[in-house]
Amino acid sequence: MMNINRYIDTSPLNPSMTTDEVRAAIQEGIDCHCKSVCVQPCDISLAAEMCKGTDTAVCCVLDFPHGKSPKNIKRSMAEEYCRLGAVELDMVMNYGYALSGRWDEVEDEIRAVTEEAHKHDAIVKVILEASQLSPEQIAEATERSVRAGADFVKTATGFTGTGAKEEELKVMLDTAAGRCKVKASGGIRDLATAKHFVEMGVARIGIGSSSMKQVVEGK
């Protein structure tokens, strides 16, 4: 039987959340044995303290939600977030560069983050914001992420456009071809959708903290 909770990165990322609300969401992720809690950078230390000794890892978004920082800033973010206790980094690809055909720069920025993260034994998931890209651009972004050493490619931030779509995931899975893993994120609010994506071959599911428990409980 599928333990869907072990595929879930629960994400208390709403910028208006209070510290108490973030703390409660992290605890709920721990209690539900989620694979990780994916937090804003300011909440890494809190998550690291709470997740210590549990089976829930600390994930952090990087250059979220637009991916517009220069390469060296992205690298510095990776270093600092790992130092604070993050063991997974969900970085936003500069999809404006992708739309401009600036693929070498896209790849170079991803490589800067993966090289730094891997020094700290952290993994990197590259958020493509796939709803803003054509199928050909999704394939190219996936290929560039693989070349740059990414551990995952991920559909969306959940803050722009639509969330995870089956056709986008299929392009990502086919292009990755096992060379990196795929994370479905954005708009997943029920167990049936989460299970379907896992059955397609997705290795992680990103779910907002407001929907996580109902998915785990099978609703």
Residue in 37, 36, 11 with CA at minimum distance from that of residue 189: 11
By the 8 A CB rule, do 40 and 14 touch? no
Residue 201 corresponds to which amino acid? Answer: G
Residue 154 appears among annotated catalytic residues: yes
Residue in 159, 139, 158 with CA at minimum distance from that of residue 147: 139
C-alpha distances out from residue 48 to 14, 86, 87, 138, Å: 19, 7, 9, 33
Active-site entry in 9, 63, 90, 151: 90
Token output for 105: 């720069």
Q: Which residues are designated catalytic?
A: 90, 154, 183
